[in-house]
A and B are shown apart, each in its own frame.
With several copies, the nearest count.
Chain A
Amino acid sequence: MNDKLIIAGREFNSRFILGSGKFSLNLINSVIKNADVEMITLALRRANTNGSENILDYIPKKITLLPNTSGARTAAEAVRIARLARELGCGDFIKLEVINDSKYLMPDNFETIKATEILANEGFIVMPYMYPDLIAARQLANAGAATIMPLGAPIGSNKGLLTFEFIKILVDEISLPVIVDAGIGTPSQACQAMQAGVAAVMANTAIATSGNIALMAKAFKLAVEAGRLAYLSGLGRVLDYKAEASSPLTDFLED
């Protein structure tokens, strides 16, 4: 079946985006393999002088890199980080994050919209992390975002789809791919999001904090595929206050 995820014209078969944080480098590869990942996020940080090992050495070349702007507290800082990230020569994708809230790490939609406009004009493929506010989502779209990445719950919390009803509204109203980022803690939650029609799911902490990283990576891959197929199929109706037999009445018991 031909069902590609298309972001700014690029086609992807995988609808699961991996976050690379909190893993020991030598696990990254098995996660990528187990989850058939095609896109992975990275962060930027000061380089060490000694030629210490670099995460790029652990990521197959065919993987699309999605640098994030984590650490940015304003649009200006995010733009600065995005430009440096592009200078590293790994493409135009940028996962835009602007966060100035230290406890719940809630994104600043206002600053994110500003930065989206600047970066989109500079040719970046901007994938903004956002709080799932329909009005903000429309403005991100107008500002040139390639996707929107609403949170399900606070970053790293594994609390799940607390924003589910509002993500469904985004899917209903926004024509860009809606990718759930942050908060998804289990494969069933990733599956539920996909069933509701989101284009893709991103996870990092859910895998990094699981008991077996390779198994959990595989679990997420399968759950995302399952949810996508269920969405394409269309879910069955729900009966409210009754039941409906799955078997014919076995008539020979009647007499």
Chain B
Amino acid sequence: MKVNGKIILLQKDINLFDFLINNNYEISKIAVELNKKIIVKAEFKNIALNDSDSLEIVTFVGGG
């Protein structure tokens, strides 16, 4: 699976929510695009990830 541009391999079936938690993302401070489609947080648990997916996980940083 592609996560923020990097290829990783999914060890096991996992849903989006668990993946983010396992990888220490702060759910409250991120927004997620799965295959260029925004996923609302309420759906995180219902989305199963697989290796063909492309995931973008973004947050706020300082900017002018």
Chain B interface mostly = mixed
Are the C-beta atoms of B64 and A252 separated by less than 8 Å? no
Contact with A along B12-25 (1 / 0, CB 8 A): 00000000000111
Question: How many chain B residues touch A (Cβ–Cβ < 8 Å)?
Answer: 24
Smallest CB separation, A149 vs chain B (Å): 11
Closest to B3 in A: A49
Judge whether A238 is part of the interface by a CB distance below 8 angstroms: no
User: Can you spell out 16 A-B residue pairs with CB atoms less than 8 angstroms apart?
Assistant: A25-B62, A43-B62, A43-B63, A44-B59, A45-B58, A47-B26, A51-B24, A56-B29, A67-B60, A70-B64, A85-B60, A88-B30, A90-B60, A247-B61, A247-B62, A252-B56
Judge whether A50 is part of the interface by a CB distance below 8 angstroms: yes
Closest to B4 in A: A46
Closest to A54 in B: B29
Binding site for A on B (CB under 8 A): 4-5, 23-26, 28-33, 36, 38, 40, 56-64
Judge whether A255 is part of the interface by a CB distance below 8 angstroms: yes
Are the C-beta atoms of B59 and A54 separated by less than 8 Å? yes
Bound form: Cα–Cα A41–B40 in Å: 23
Interface pairs A-B: 10 shortest CB-CB: A43-B63, A246-B64, A19-B64, A247-B63, A204-B64, A87-B31, A21-B64, A47-B59, A20-B62, A46-B4
Are the C-beta atoms of A155 and B25 separated by less than 8 Å? no
Are the C-beta atoms of B64 and A47 separated by less than 8 Å? no
Smallest CB separation, B56 vs chain A (Å): 5
Judge whether A23 is part of the interface by a CB distance below 8 angstroms: yes
Binding site for B on A (CB under 8 A): 19-23, 25, 28, 41-47, 49-51, 54-56, 65, 67-68, 70, 80, 83-85, 87-90, 155-156, 202, 204-205, 245-248, 251-252, 254-255
Are the C-beta atoms of B26 and A87 separated by less than 8 Å? no
Tell which of A28, A50, A252 has the most Cβ of chain B within 10 Å: A252
Bound form: Cα–Cα A83–B57 in Å: 13
- 9 additional A-B residue pairs with CB within 8 Å, beyond A19-B63, A49-B25: A45-B60, A46-B58, A46-B59, A49-B23, A49-B24, A80-B36, A84-B58, A248-B63, A255-B5
Bound form: Cα–Cα A88–B57 in Å: 11
Are the C-beta atoms of B24 and A20 separated by less than 8 Å? no
Bound form: Cα–Cα A23–B63 in Å: 9
Smallest CB separation, B43 vs chain A (Å): 11
Are the C-beta atoms of B4 and A47 separated by less than 8 Å? yes
Bound form: Cα–Cα A80–B62 in Å: 19
Are the C-beta atoms of A56 and B38 separated by less than 8 Å? no
Closest to B25 in A: A47
Known: A45-B59, A84-B58. A50 touches B38 (CB 8 A): no
